[in-house]
Amino acid sequence: MAQEDVFKKIVSHCKEYGFVFQSSEIYDGLSAVYDYGQMGVELKNNIKKYWWDSMVLLNDNVVGIDSAIFMHPTIWKASGHVDAFNDPLIDNKDSKKRYRADVLIEDYLAKIDEKIDKEVEKAAKRFGDSFDEAMFRETNPRVLENKAKRDEVHTRFAKALNDSNLEELRNIIVDCEIVDPISGTRNWTEVRQFNLMFATEMGSTADGAMKVYLRPETAQGIFVNFLNVQKTGRMKIPFGIAQIGKAFRNEIVARQFIFRMREFEQMEMQFFVRPGEELEWFAKWKDVRMKWHKALGFGDKKYRFHDHDKLAHYANAATDIEFEMPFGFKEVEGIHSRTDFDLGSHEQYSGKKLQYFDPELNKSYTPYVIETSIGVDRMFLSTVSAAYTEETLENGETRVVLKLPAPLAPIKLGVFPLVKKDGLPEKAREVIDSLKFDFKCQYDEKDSIGKRYRRSDAIGTPYCVTVDHQTLEDNTVTIRYRDTMEQERVAIDKLAEIIGDKVSMKGLLKSL
């Protein structure tokens, strides 16, 4: 199946089973804004818990905060967002669609990479065991030609970004003959800068209202509270502050479901270190964060690092963790070495000292910062995409199953009475009542057992039990496992033990 079709299926699956709805749907929707439904919110909460616990529970030198969305407007001046939080936009005059100029070029580069990989794959098949990939990449004329083209465009692109040279970005688009995917034409406008922050007013106009911004990232709430937390928590460097919260960006192009939203959620952690030690910590956090992703068991090949071509104004090292979405490898998390830019800048704009006295060095300094920043919604999309599976069964039927890691699954256990009479519903409720304090259970008595299994598979429930007449006699149920579809008879009082560890966050956290 084409990857585009897989993506469409995932989007409609998310709607059909109560994971994600278009915002304001009955009013024809609001572009790039989404609501999470009854299943989505559970999965989202589990993702957040996995992140939060991995930061705050597992590291005694990382603490959390929850800062307000509104902040003093000068914060955004100090952070550089008022002047520099821009994307380069370009319009196609025929389709009237707007694009990010940098993304058009990145997609073009990714296509060349794909071509090279296909060439390598073809050769690997042809030559079998004797294939020497490194040698092939170094000598095959078609690979070399594509690589040279890629490197040339890449060098121009990186320079244009670093110089904020909008004209050159347009020249690259023209020279590479990049066409609008909708109109198929090359009728492009100039490239312009567009600020992504939403602004609103605080206070009544009579008082002289103040222009405030909806925060475009949660990080600044951490920086401006750095000393509050350090002092009241008696924190010693190195230490981190974690936060989960909403962020808002007026994205130019927002066509990929919850991948790029105008209102989204971030999980950010700023780790404060001694100046000069930041690159060591950068390497450490890169490692820790990649392990966190891979521990979910979707396969290591789905992840890769992508180092930035253009370092943001505040960074001296930066990388993205990319995940293989149905529409290609895309950024899910950014890891940045932010130097002392933010704290230094807030010192300057606020006139307040934001320094740390290091008792071991017996001196004060402005700490350096390593940031790990991940979007909850992108993590959600990557999880659902990796988990979404269509299987053909022995009887020829197909089943759609979300193979979610059990600790992330919205519902851990489905409980089904075989029939709606003879005391079986009551017995099923009893089972739920005995387990509901440990994990989320769902009662379902509608349709055949087979259909109930299908519905549970579709929302990723790892375990289901059926209560039948034998249950009333010997207190046993049939447990059915989502991935293998195997069934076995077990005692009700063994259920907590069989399921408990597997669905708890503890197991996942211990594997880190």
Length of the chain: 512
Among 46, 146, 230, 266, indicate the residue that binds ligand ATP (CB under 6 A): 266
CB neighbour list of residue 5: distance below 8 Å, 6 or more residues apart? none
If one asks whether residue 317 binds ligand ATP (CB under 6 A), the answer comes out as no
Give the range of 17-25, 256-264, 403-411, 467-475 binding ligand ATP by CB under 6 A. 256-264
Among 22, 373, 385, 456, indicate the residue that binds ligand ATP (CB under 6 A): 373
Cα→Cα distances 41→14, 18, 36, 205, 437, Å: 12, 9, 5, 38, 19
Among 107, 119, 331, 347, indicate the residue that binds ligand ATP (CB under 6 A): 331
Give the range of 137-145, 326-334, 401-409, 428-436 binding ligand ATP by CB under 6 A. 326-334
Whether 142 contacts 119, CB under 8 Å = yes
Among 252, 317, 369, 374, indicate the residue that binds ligand ATP (CB under 6 A): 374
- Residue 382 or 456 with smaller CB distance to ligand ATP: 382
Size of the site for ligand ATP (CB under 6 A): 16
Among 332, 386, 459, 477, indicate the residue that binds ligand ATP (CB under 6 A): 332
If one asks whether residue 43 binds ligand ATP (CB under 6 A), the answer comes out as no
Give the range of 283-291, 374-382, 412-420, 460-468 binding ligand ATP by CB under 6 A. 374-382
- Residue 156 or 260 with smaller CB distance to ligand ATP: 260
- Residue 323 or 356 with smaller CB distance to ligand ATP: 323
If one asks whether residue 180 binds ligand ATP (CB under 6 A), the answer comes out as no
Gap between the Cα atoms of 295 and 479, Å rounded = 26
Among 7, 223, 264, 303, indicate the residue that binds ligand ATP (CB under 6 A): 264
CB neighbour list of residue 440: distance below 8 Å, 6 or more residues apart? 42, 410, 411, 412, 413
If one asks whether residue 342 binds ligand ATP (CB under 6 A), the answer comes out as no
Minimum gap (Å) between residue 174 Cβ and ligand ATP: 23
In the window 205-244, what residues touch ligand ATP (CB under 6 A)? 217
SS3 393: coil
If one asks whether residue 371 binds ligand ATP (CB under 6 A), the answer comes out as no
SS3 145: helix
Q: What is the DSSP string of 463-489?
A: EEEEE-HHHHHH-EEEEEETTT--EEE
| Phi and psi torsions of 248, nearest 5° | -135, 130
If one asks whether residue 334 binds ligand ATP (CB under 6 A), the answer comes out as yes
If one asks whether residue 372 binds ligand ATP (CB under 6 A), the answer comes out as no
If one asks whether residue 53 binds ligand ATP (CB under 6 A), the answer comes out as no
3-state SS, one letter per residue, for 396-456: CCEEEEECCCHHHCCCCEEEEECCCCCCHHHHHHHHHHHHCCCCCEEECCCCCHHHHHHHH
Give the range of 328-336, 339-347, 351-359, 458-466 binding ligand ATP by CB under 6 A. 328-336
Cα→Cα distances 201→162, 212, 214, 249, 349, Å: 34, 6, 10, 17, 21
If one asks whether residue 405 binds ligand ATP (CB under 6 A), the answer comes out as no
Whether 341 contacts 313, CB under 8 Å = yes
Residue appearing with tokens 């930041």:
278
Among 221, 245, 375, 417, indicate the residue that binds ligand ATP (CB under 6 A): 375
Euclidean distance between the first and final Cα of the chain, in Å? 34
Minimum gap (Å) between residue 264 Cβ and ligand ATP: 4
Gap between the Cα atoms of 204 and 210, Å rounded = 9
Whether 333 contacts 321, CB under 8 Å = yes
- Residue 245 or 425 with smaller CB distance to ligand ATP: 245
Give the range of 223-231, 331-339, 450-458, 461-469 binding ligand ATP by CB under 6 A. 331-339
Residue appearing with tokens 């009241």:
232
If one asks whether residue 407 binds ligand ATP (CB under 6 A), the answer comes out as no
Can you point out the beta strands (E) in 142-221?
192-195, 199-202, 210-213
Among 333, 340, 444, 457, indicate the residue that binds ligand ATP (CB under 6 A): 333
Chain residues in the site for ligand ATP (CB under 6 A) = 217, 249, 251, 260-261, 264, 266, 331-334, 373-375, 377-378
